[in-house]
């Protein structure tokens, strides 16, 4: 199926099933409500076949271009059916699972994620290491046919809901840095795992601390070979900045449209509005090129750091524009729509931190794309 055929068919299906797909909650909803809505949309779209296009047949997909997946992300976001950051988790985690898990494990697990039967989380960040993955300390020690994991992760999205975790562990010495890391696929109901949700500034407990106390993980749950965890991370992070960011661009485009509909005519500085619009379309153009490069079989790498920097700049600019035009609604409005804008404004402040801070992205751009040498 080509993109035009897929787009027409999906749009018609979304229109025909609009009532069934609509959120049951008003406004942004609670995190429980958002997750329930995402599970519903995934299940209906998977069972109708739309969620399976663009994924390999060996993991339950129907094959075809990754552009089909990108359009699905865009279409459900443009209709306000899902919270974009949470809905895109399969775009971040499933490709690396397909690349590094055993074929048997991938064939069993990936369809569960795509259909919304399971939620997965990403155990990368740790206290004190920030975005510097090479210094992670959560340790895994080989014990026969198992690994025993002890340590802590933080800023782990949806950990309290997750059935599985894509986890990076230290299996070499601390001095081995990026060479001593191993990836594991961990069942979150394993004995020894404790999850403590963190309430963020926008009022949602989207993130958690996760503690591992001598957690036993079967050796066949390794992602790649022992010591190949850095490759797992370098494979996953560009996906975090590809289709997921295209969906984020659709979300910001939708919010800018809604801002123009809501704001009084004289409340928007035309120069500022032009700048924000230009920034948004530059980000969309950059992300569109990334989608096509991935669809053409290209390898995603450090150049996706440019996409991430543009996302952070655009997201904060769009919501800053809302704050300028509708300050009263943003700060004191108590209706569901105002509460949603306020939560999204606050969340936008994290855009230059989550998924690798803008400082880290600029270091990557300087060192790996512009060959400007080390920052030290």
Report, as residue numbers or ranges, the catalytic residues: 240
Question: What residues contact residue 146 under an 8 Å CB cut-off, 6+ apart?
Answer: 216, 217, 218, 219
Tokens 């989550």 belong to residue: 354
> Roughly how many angstroms between the first and final C-alpha of the chain, as a whole number?
50
How far are the Cα atoms of 158, 208, 242, 261, 284 from residue 89, in angstroms, in the given order? Answer: 10, 16, 12, 30, 20
How far are the Cα atoms of 153, 242, 260 from residue 66, in angstroms, in the given order? Answer: 31, 11, 32
* Segment (H or E) for 187: strand 181-187
Concatenated DSSP letters of 284-349? HHHHHHHHHHHHTTPPP-TTHHHHHHHHHHHHHHHHHHHHHH-HHHHHH--SHHHHHHHHHHHHHG
Pull the structure tokens for residue 245: 């960011």
How far are the Cα atoms of 54, 87, 112, 113, 225 from residue 108, in angstroms, in the given order? Answer: 18, 20, 7, 10, 20
Distance of CA 353 to the CA centre of its chain: 13
Concatenated DSSP letters of 219-277? GGGEESSTT-HHHHHHHHHHHHTTHHHHHHHHHHHHHHHHHHHHS-GGGS-HHHHHHHH
Query: Residue 197's closest CA among 162, 146, 245, 225?
Result: 162
């Amino acid at each position: 199926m080509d993109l035009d055929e897929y787009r027409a068919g999906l749009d018609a299906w979304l229109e025909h099933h609009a009532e069934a797909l609509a959120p049951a909650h008003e406004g942004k909803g609670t995190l429980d409500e958002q997750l329930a809505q995402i599970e519903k949309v995934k299940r209906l779209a998977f069972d109708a076949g739309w969620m399976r296009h663009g994924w390999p047949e060996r993991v339950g997909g129907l094959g075809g271009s990754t552009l089909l997946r990108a359009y699905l992300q865009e279409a459900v976001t443009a209709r306000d059916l899902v919270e974009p950051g949470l809905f895109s988790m399969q775009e971040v985690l499933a490709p690396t699972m397909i690349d590094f898990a055993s074929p048997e494990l991938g064939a069993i697990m990936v369809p569960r994620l795509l259909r919304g039967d399971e939620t997965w989380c990403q155990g990368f960040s740790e206290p004190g290491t920030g975005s510097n993955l090479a210094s992670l300390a959560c340790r895994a020690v080989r014990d026969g046919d198992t690994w025993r994991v002890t340590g802590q992760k933080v800023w782990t999205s949806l950990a309290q809901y997750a059935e599985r975790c894509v986890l990076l562990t230290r299996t070499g010495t601390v001095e081995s840095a990026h060479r001593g890391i191993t990836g594991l696929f961990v069942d979150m109901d394993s004995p020894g795992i404790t999850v403590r949700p963190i309430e963020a500034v926008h009022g949602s407990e989207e993130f958690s601390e996760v503690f591992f106390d001598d957690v036993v993980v079967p050796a066949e749950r390794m992602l790649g070979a022992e010591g190949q965890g850095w490759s797992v991370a370098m494979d996953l992070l560009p996906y975090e900045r590809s289709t997921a960011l295209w969906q984020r661009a659709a979300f910001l485009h939708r919010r800018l449209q809604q801002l123009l509909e809501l704001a009084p005519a004289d409340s928007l500085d035309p120069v500022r509005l032009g700048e924000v619009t230009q920034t948004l379309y530059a980000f969309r153009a950059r992300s569109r090129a990334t989608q096509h490069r991935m669809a053409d079989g290209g390898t995603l790498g450090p150049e996706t750091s440019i996409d991430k920097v543009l996302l952070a700049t655009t997201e904060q600019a769009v919501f800053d524009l809302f704050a300028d035009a509708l300050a009263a609604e943003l700060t004191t409005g108590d209706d569901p729509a105002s509460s949603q804008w306020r939560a999204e404004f606050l969340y936008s402040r994290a855009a230059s931190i989550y998924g690798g801070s803008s400082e880290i992205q600029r270091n990557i751009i300087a060192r790996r794309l512009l060959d400007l040498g080390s920052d030290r």
